[in-house]
Amino acid sequence: MRNDIQDHWLIPAKRIQSPNHNERPSEGRIDLLVIHNISLPPGKFGGTYICDFFTNQLDRTAHPYFQEIAALEVSAHLLIRRDGHVIQFVPFNKRAWHAGESCFQDERGCNDFSIGIELEGSDDVKFTAQQYQQLADVTKRIMTAYPGITADRIVGHSDIAPGRKTDPGSAFDWALYRQLLET
């Protein structure tokens, strides 16, 4: 599937708009890509819970863990499902609330200048071939549209929030991902 970016939206990604975003600072630069993982409930895949969470519609009674997180207001720009399907929650020119307290190269507040991509998965479960292929394809499109994002400015959530976050985790194959970026 070829992905293009028009008006800061990835085409043909499915759009489910999240209210959990705001304007970037006035300079509006976009020069960091952050890779995350998410599964809801933890370790379970499929269903609507991730989309519900990013749109503040998570049913806190559906699972005990949801009582802890239902009130949080978070989002990402993109979610790549296990089967490679992509959902976009926030246009790239807006500040999605994905990184939280974070720092990259002595600059705090990475949400201000980054794009966040969530992979449906968990730290210790292998990601799928479809996810890696889609992530590489999407990354190439993002790097073309936002040339400030270079290979050395692609990081994991754990890189910008060490000690607080561990994703994308030990199961994420950075070497494979970087190899796919070069093809």
Complete DSSP assignment for 54-95: HTT---TTSSTTHHHHTT-----SEEE-TTS-EEE-S-TTEE
Q: Give 25's DSSP letter.
A: P
**Can you tell me which residue has the tokens 């720009």?**
77
Q: Is 89 exposed, middle or buried (0-12, 13-18, 19+ CB in 10 A)?
A: buried
- Please report which helix (H) or strand (E) contains residue 159, including its range: helix 157-160
**How far apart are alpha carbons 62 and 144 in whole angstroms?**
41
**How far apart are alpha carbons 69 and 56 in whole angstroms?**
10
Active site residue 118: yes
Catalytic residue among 23, 68, 118, 182: 118
Task: Catalogue the active-site residues.
Answer: 118
